[in-house]
Chain A
């Protein structure tokens, strides 16, 4: 941050090492700690209030890095953790520490795993879900990771409730850097499914972006991730509303990526293939339609279905400043389930 003192006209600039450089047009330069202690330079005195304001946020970072998670096994692996051997020059930092993330439908499955992965990278997290009990458990789990959590029980198809939640979340967390539209009505038959997929999958994303825009516009590293599906890019057994509505979502993400790029906001999609977890769709399919399950499994080139954690890491990477060049992409994370060549 760089600010001018309106009266003395001195310019205050915060520096990487936590000090503040002060350039006074009349008295020269000086370097100070935030508490006003002079370090070097010709200028020997600075305004403590300005030092605090310009250099202060460094004090305010979540204490994530200083506290270890009470349940280390539950932590998802930080990306690039294999490459930080001594001497490695390409160690990748996601740069997520202190970011503020909002995820819809994050009390189970991919949403929950994604919320945890963000929290493990030092992000404060806002989440919603329909079921209060499961939401409470998910929020508690996040809080135990030592980050700020804001949660609210709501139905994403209720546009007013969603917008209201987002603006409250943004206020509570002091802004938003990432919006993840994860809520989905799931696959189902009939006209009701068309309406439900439209209301939740499509409009949940559309309205969510609209409501988070004022906050994202203030972020230095804003990004949006929609959760799509490989069902939108390759035929999956039967014509379904779910498939077409996910396709609509991918098209909309592409449009948004163009229109929001000038405002520094990236927009991407992660399209998972089959993801297996307890209580998830594929577990249900495995029990009720074993042939369908076996067929899908056989189609996975890596010989297994994905896990929520694997999708979560993909989302977290795309959302992070480390993916600063990527916008308008539909990143398929499916272990080779789809067979087309994406040029």
Chain B
């Protein structure tokens, strides 16, 4: 693999779209905007080109498994999915299967999901049990991984109890998410996520519950799938119905150590449009109103569509979120989408979305995309909405819990298998990324490069 061939950006002069910058838009907010939205990174990133075989070759896929998935902190499950003693979830990544268990002491631990006898997976599915018993011969461990019992103990004189604990895997938690790292020598989780928690201080994700969790098998490399959700550059061509109400080309992109961020303003017209839509047209576009349909809401006089949506969102969040009247229009309207390397995409403010992408099985050509809606709640935490898995030919609208966004996901999905097909069919060697709008993807590839070379 010729990594030297990846051209760094020669001219660091920043390319930006015409039209209002995101920071200028924030100046028009009806509330004070939090500092975190005022932050801008100043990082020069290499890699405007990467080799196509990063997406298509089995060799690179295998390298990723060794250098990324076995080495990196990754989101395994939500704490709310294992609230009680003995609750367990399974996180499969490539060839690895990891069991995440809530112990008697309420501590969350993770183990290789493998029996130390003859290697059967200990658990086939998530559930609750007060011990971890292999279904094959009945070897049994306590929830803390210590050996509890071996049937016919007399026959295993050579097996020492103290050396037969389940192989533990490092665990870290943030925002109600449980992360694991299969590498026993991994750096501390807190060091890895860095300043990310401070970005979410105003929007605590631990105080949300899973209102929807839908996965879909994608006939493409996991990076092809996730890179479709890391920029707003595709909006004009893939979601043209949104253009009246989305500041796609004037999004802001930032990158820090292991995480990056994009902010795309909603309820502001796209710079692509020749004629500026009226405030009402912007609101209608956001609400998906048909040309011959009646508007579901009216923009009051002297108000903008952005302020109207902000006000509506404040009403909806009233009682669910503290100090809702102080939330800025930006926090209530915009798409603020973070990415923690390699595959975890929590959204900021109150947009509810979190994505996760990962390879499925051992193929560079198939992946699993998951959508979580993390919703605020009042009173007792509602149970997580059950996971729904859609097959590779399903429409996202088969999961009605996703609401109107399902159709937008379908539009994104329409590209995925076609990209994979095109990459395999390519007569050239590299894909190329934009200078600014694809910042997050370039940041991702620079980290990917560091890891695979390490």
| Chain A residues in the interface with B (C-beta under 8 A) | 1-8, 11, 47-50, 52-53, 56-57, 59-60, 100, 124, 148, 152, 160-161, 164, 167-168, 171-175, 214, 217-218, 220, 264
Contacts and interface: CB of A to CB of B under 8 A. Distances in A.
B395 A59 contact: yes
B400 A49 contact: no
B396 to A, nearest CB: 9
30 contacts: A1-B290, A1-B293, A2-B291, A3-B291, A6-B240, A6-B273, A7-B236, A7-B240, A49-B411, A50-B240, A50-B241, A53-B239, A53-B408, A59-B395, A60-B395, A60-B398, A124-B400, A148-B401, A160-B378, A164-B320, A164-B377, A164-B378, A171-B375, A172-B400, A173-B401, A174-B402, A175-B403, A175-B404, A214-B316, A217-B296
A172 B209 CA distance: 13
A174 B414 contact: no
B382 A168 contact: yes
Nearest to B270: A6
Contacts of B414: 48-49, 52
A6 B212 contact: no
Given A60-B395, A171-B373, 15 more contacts: A8-B240, A50-B240, A52-B407, A53-B407, A56-B397, A57-B407, A59-B395, A100-B400, A164-B379, A172-B211, A172-B212, A172-B385, A172-B400, A174-B401, A174-B404
A49 B402 contact: no
Nearest to B383: A152
Contacts, number: 104
Interface in B401-440: 401-404, 406-408, 410-411, 414
B238 A49 contact: yes
Q: Is the interface of B mostly helix, strand, loop or mixed?
A: mixed
Contact of A218 (B287, B292, B401): B287
In the complex, which of the residues B240, B403, B408, B410 has the most CB atoms of chain A within 10 Å of its own CB atom? B240
Interface string B238-253: 1111011000000000
B24 to A, nearest CB: 22
B95 interface: no
Contact of B400 (A6, A173, A217, A218): A173
B112 to A, nearest CB: 36
B135 interface: no
A100 B400 CA distance: 10
Contacts of B406: 60, 174
Nearest to B238: A49
A152 B378 CA distance: 14
Contacts of A5: 240-241
A217 B408 CA distance: 22
B138 interface: no
Contacts of A161: 379
A56 B395 contact: yes
A241 to B, nearest CB: 29
In the complex, which of the residues B212, B270, B378, B411 has the most CB atoms of chain A within 10 Å of its own CB atom? B411
Nearest to A11: B291
A6 B241 contact: yes
B290 A3 contact: yes
A161 to B, nearest CB: 7
A13 to B, nearest CB: 8
In the complex, which of the residues A49, A57, A164 has the most CB atoms of chain B within 10 Å of its own CB atom? A49
A75 to B, nearest CB: 22
A172 B294 contact: no
B338 to A, nearest CB: 22
Contacts of A172: 211-212, 385, 400-401
B319 interface: yes
B316 A167 contact: yes
A5 B242 CA distance: 9
A284 to B, nearest CB: 32
B272 interface: yes
B289 to A, nearest CB: 9
Contact of B244 (A6, A48, A52, A171): A6
A3 B284 CA distance: 11
Contacts of B240: 5-8, 47, 49-50
Given A2-B292, A6-B240, A52 B410 contact: yes
Contact of B211 (A50, A57, A168): A168
B147 to A, nearest CB: 38
A6 B272 contact: yes
List of 3 A-B pairs having minimum Cβ-Cβ separation, nearest first: A60-B397, A6-B243, A2-B291
B407 A171 contact: no
B237 interface: yes
A171 B291 contact: no
In the complex, which of the residues A47, A53, A152, A264 has the most CB atoms of chain B within 10 Å of its own CB atom? A53
